[in-house]
Structure 1
Amino acid sequence: MTEHPPDRPAPPPSTLTDPERLRALAETHLDAVPDEAFERFARLVSTLLEVPVALVSLVSEDRQFFPGAVGLPDPWAGRRETPLSHSFCQHVVDLQAPMVLPDARLHAGTRHNRAIEELGVIAYAGMPLTDLEGRVLGSLCAIDSQPRAWTAEQLRTLADLAAACSSELRLRIAVDSADQARRRAEEAHDRLAMLAGMSEMLGGTLDVGTAVERLGRAMVPLLADWCLVTLVDPARRPRRVWARHRDPGHAGDVARFAELLATGLGPESIIRSVLRTGRPVLHRAATLADVERGTTEPELVPLAARLGFGSHLSVPIAGAGGRAIGCVTLVNAPDRRPFDEGDLYTALDIGRRADQAVGNSRMYGEQRHVADVLQHSMLPTLPVVPGMELAARYLPVADRVEVGGDWYDAFVQPDGELIAAIGDVAGHDIEAAATMGQLRNLVRGDAYGRTDPVEELMTHLDRAIHGLAIPTVATATLARVRRTEHGGLRVSWCSAGHPAPLLIHADGRVAVLDRAREPLLGLTRPTRRTSRELNLAPGDTLLLHTDGLIERRDRTLDEGQAELVDRLAGSAALPLAELCDRLLAGAHRWEDDIALLALRAG
């Protein structure tokens, strides 16, 4: 074994910065802290070679650190690491061979090393510490502060100890590899489970915002540290950006990033490229320069730095005809492994599944808008009647696109009396809406200009449904309101299977007016109907409503009505419009459309 070190300068940086060597070094999970196994190797070297200093020295690209050390002087004993300006072991890594120096001051390659003066390194003997592939991670070294002629027996002992020390390093790497393999297997299982459940998860809602929020929860942190989902409008412009970060503490930053990104994509933006071409982009190693080049918003760069930006990939959400309607972007921080081809394939699968969910949500939104416009076009404008205040509301079920059969109406007769009506046609489709329109028009055509009692009007309506063969079953309440000689209001009403009207007295008391409901319209052969009457004092409110306000799967209609009565208690002082709004706001779990018609005596 030679005792002559190379007469050459420090190793070129490429040797120390070999990515595979540094990866293996990182997999040992050792650092500048004592490790009992390597401390033992240092003690054995110090004892068997009779040297004052012995080190297990591992060399990174910019320092050496000592998980095992004996005899280091202060302050290095506490630090347990030095920069490479104080390193002899870097030459062992460079040579990939032992390095033996009887007197380091006599050799050109080491005589200017600061370890001679500051650590007292005069005699040095270092043996390579290697991984299973033979990559040199560092050195097991013996150091003396005096010149020394190293014997062959001492060097053999040091080599044997270095071989045993290398075995311990390899064991640490193997344990890490096994842990990584286990984590990868668990991650693969979780990904498969996520993909298997994604279609059901995304298909469980027709609201695009909810679908994208669920998508973000599924991807972060399983696939990425944070993610962005960008959707475009019909003009191919980014319409909205959703974002999610694994750390709740970054919720504000990631929301701000999404807000700025919606209007701040530059011409060189990767997201724009994906939206334009429909092709994915994967950057295993990314820098903040990628963000800077792709945006017109300078604030995005420091935001990305805080969120973590080390690797990213973007895949299209392809719509009909293959044109991208959106983009899914996954981002990892520098301390997480970079994305690879496997991640790309997973993300592409997610993009395909998201396409169906987003497409369905968009179609639902368009259909829902048409249905809402159609439904509200069938609802009348309430008349202005002296001495009365009227208010009405209609609320469709939020997660259904069909047009409903609920309706209300109010119109003034030639003699000044008011006809008020509310009803519910069975079904939730265009046919139900058409029937609802027919029924409302029948009420208007039959009642306008006639002074017949309301029970006669209801009987005639039932006959018309049968005689005209209108295929429907419906509930309805028909009321006539007229002013009395004393200035009050007299109400007569007839109900065909409809929920009972409610009377809210001016003093806050609430009464259910009619619990005995007559048969539904169109259900049996027309029968004679009956009516009831009451007087409305100033400040009294008559409330007509459809069963959507009180109907739930988990309770009876009577229980729902009792709850409504409790909610109305003490509400007489509320403005009529506010009263109606509160009733709808309290129906947070409604399962059917709701129509309200309220009348208050002045």
Structure 2
Amino acid sequence: MESTGHELPTWAPLPARADEGFDELAARVCAELRVQRALVVLVSKSGQVFPGAAGLPEPWETRRSMPLSHSMNLRVLSTGRPLVLRDAREDPQLRDSPGVLDMQIVAYAAMPLADVHGRPIGVLSVSDDQPRDWSARDLATLHGLAAEAARRLQFQALELAEREAVATAARAALAATRTADSARAAYVEAEAAADRARVVARLSQDLQPAETLLDVLRSIDRFVRSPLGASVALLGLAETGSTDLRVWAAVTGTPPTTRVATGLYLSDAHPLATAVRERRPVPVGSRAAGEAEFPALARFPVGAETALAAPVVLGQHTAAAGLLVGWGETRDLDAPLSAVVTDLARHVGHALDRVLLRAQRMRLGAASPPVSVSA
């Protein structure tokens, strides 16, 4: 491959496809010079493209590109000067080129096309399959048409570059907006997570000194009213080996008591019993849907439209427990709300574990017979 006197651009300024304006110019060149073929050729490191062509055979007419190995234009690009050949077959550098051998190029004339910086990046070439003595008038006409092609090329290249610059700026702006939106969403999520952590920490501190079941129920009652805005909470407990599920209630407007509010069986079709039995959260999006899936829900809780039951895991005590939080209006049981209820159940489990173990220890101490000491 013949080297050029300057660095070729990485890509041609126009794509490898027909351009209506350059095709018209190539056809005009053919008509004015009465030649078989005219090409507007742009050359880059990746190859050569033909935005304008007249008389170009297939498959090149469709492809509108060729590898540099087929180029007859590198000498023009290297010198920046026209190349005029009566018979290319007599030129020692071109006679064995694919253009001469495969495309039957004999007579050949080419004028350089420069970009806006004055660098030759292409040619306007004409060729025929017979030798030709190019007249001064022929070359003057070709020179004038090459100047027209160069102006058109510079204009279109600048226009394309401007569109690409606008598109690049738009892509950058969109990327920046998406980054900002992601950062904002991450910030909001972090703030929400921090709020949930503060809420749960407050609950944990409130439950830590609890010594009795009533203490636990009072903490649950305060927490579900604010910040959860719930109207009712149920705490269920099933002793080891028992199928009964004792349920205590904390209802808005009624002080919590240790009186059992209702009794369920672990096998009942109730969200609280299901959460205890299967050890998983059980959401109830609406009372109508909940009663269809859980018939025992009709018994309790009264006045709750939306509910979420979660298992209460006890660390040391062997009983099984669960917590149900209910709202008087329809609520979206989204991930943050579910996470808060799950955390509530976890901390209730810690407190209930201590309360049950303490009560068991006290019962054990009361049942122990006095120790006699012999004199």
State whether TM-score is above 0.5. yes
C-alpha distance in structure 2 between counterparts of 1:535 and 1:117, whole Å: 99
Letter in 1 for 2:10: L
The one of 116, 130, 136 aligned to 1:146: 130
2:18 matched to 1:34?
A: yes
Structure with the higher helix share, 1 or 2: 2
Change over 3 Å in CA distance of 1:135–1:580 after alignment to 2: farther
**What SS class does the counterpart of residue 100 from structure 2 fall into?**
helix
Task: Pick which of 103-112 and 119-128 moved more.
Answer: 103-112
C-alpha distance in structure 2 between counterparts of 1:179 and 1:34, whole Å: 19
CA drift of 1:160 comes to 0.7
**Aligned residue for 2:207?**
436
Aligned 8 A contact 1:58 1:64 in 2: yes
**Aligned residue for 1:169?**
153
C-alpha distance in structure 2 between counterparts of 1:76 and 1:535, whole Å: 87
The one of 121, 127, 151 aligned to 1:137: 121
C-alpha distance in structure 2 between counterparts of 1:102 and 1:436, whole Å: 102
The one of 517, 520, 545 aligned to 2:255: 520
Provide, for residues 512-564 of structure 1, a one-character-per-residue CA deviation record: whole Å limited to 9, x for no partner: 9989888426xxxxxxx89579888997799699xxx9999xx9xxx76x776
CA drift of 1:48 comes to 0.9
Provide, for residues 54-107 of structure 1, a one-character-per-residue CA deviation record: whole Å limited to 9, x for no partner: 222222336433232223455655554444444322211111111111222333
**What SS class does the counterpart of residue 189 from structure 2 fall into?**
coil
CA drift of 1:122 comes to 1.8
Letter in 2 for 1:91: R
Aligned 8 A contact 1:59 1:137 in 2: yes
**Aligned residue for 2:45?**
61
Change over 3 Å in CA distance of 1:160–1:566 after alignment to 2: same
C-alpha distance in structure 1 between counterparts of 2:324 and 2:251, whole Å: 24
**What SS class does the counterpart of residue 140 from structure 1 fall into?**
strand
Change over 3 Å in CA distance of 1:474–1:144 after alignment to 2: closer
The one of 4, 11, 17 aligned to 2:2: 11
The one of 2, 6, 10 aligned to 1:22: 10
**Aligned residue for 2:79?**
95
**Once the two structures are aligned, what percentage of the paired residues are identical?**
27
2:92 matched to 1:104?
A: no
Letter in 2 for 1:139: V
Aligned 8 A contact 1:475 1:520 in 2: no
**Aligned residue for 1:568?**
294
**Aligned residue for 1:345?**
none
C-alpha distance in structure 2 between counterparts of 1:131 and 1:581, whole Å: 78
Aligned 8 A contact 2:42 2:49 in 1: yes
CA drift of 1:143 comes to 1.1
CA drift of 1:205 comes to 2.5
**Aligned residue for 1:354?**
none
Change over 3 Å in CA distance of 1:45–1:581 after alignment to 2: farther
C-alpha distance in structure 2 between counterparts of 1:197 and 1:110, whole Å: 60
C-alpha distance in structure 1 between counterparts of 2:29 and 2:255, whole Å: 100
| Alignment root-mean-square deviation, CA | 5.0
Map 1:274-423; keep pairs closer than 5 Å: 400-402=196-198, 404=200
Letter in 2 for 1:568: F
Task: Pick which of 83-92 and 165-174 moved more.
Answer: 83-92
Change over 3 Å in CA distance of 1:109–1:188 after alignment to 2: same
C-alpha distance in structure 2 between counterparts of 1:138 and 1:70, whole Å: 16
The one of 150, 155, 178 aligned to 2:139: 155
**Aligned residue for 2:328?**
none
Question: Using CA pairs below 8 Å that are at least 6 residues apart, which structure has the higher relative contact order?
Answer: 2
Aligned 8 A contact 1:128 1:139 in 2: yes
**Aligned residue for 1:494?**
none
Letter in 1 for 2:210: L
Letter in 1 for 2:156: R
CA drift of 1:41 comes to 1.5
CA drift of 1:154 comes to 1.0
C-alpha distance in structure 2 between counterparts of 1:535 and 1:81, whole Å: 84
C-alpha distance in structure 2 between counterparts of 1:581 and 1:166, whole Å: 82
Q: How many pairs does the alignment contain?
A: 295
Aligned 8 A contact 1:122 1:143 in 2: yes
**What SS class does the counterpart of residue 58 from structure 1 fall into?**
strand
Aligned 8 A contact 2:269 2:296 in 1: no
**What SS class does the counterpart of residue 56 from structure 1 fall into?**
strand
Letter in 1 for 2:103: L
**What SS class does the counterpart of residue 401 from structure 1 fall into?**
helix
Provide, for residues 170-211 of structure 1, a one-character-per-residue CA deviation record: whole Å limited to 9, x for no partner: 1221111211221233234335434544543222234xxxxx
C-alpha distance in structure 2 between counterparts of 1:535 and 1:156, whole Å: 107
CA drift of 1:111 comes to 2.9
**What SS class does the counterpart of residue 117 from structure 1 fall into?**
helix
Change over 3 Å in CA distance of 1:520–1:158 after alignment to 2: same
Letter in 2 for 1:108: P
C-alpha distance in structure 2 between counterparts of 1:516 and 1:400, whole Å: 23
Aligned 8 A contact 1:475 1:498 in 2: no
**Aligned residue for 1:186?**
170
Change over 3 Å in CA distance of 1:113–1:550 after alignment to 2: closer
Change over 3 Å in CA distance of 1:438–1:177 after alignment to 2: same
**Aligned residue for 1:468?**
none
Map 1:261-280; keep pairs closer than 5 Å: none
The one of 48, 71, 76 aligned to 2:55: 71
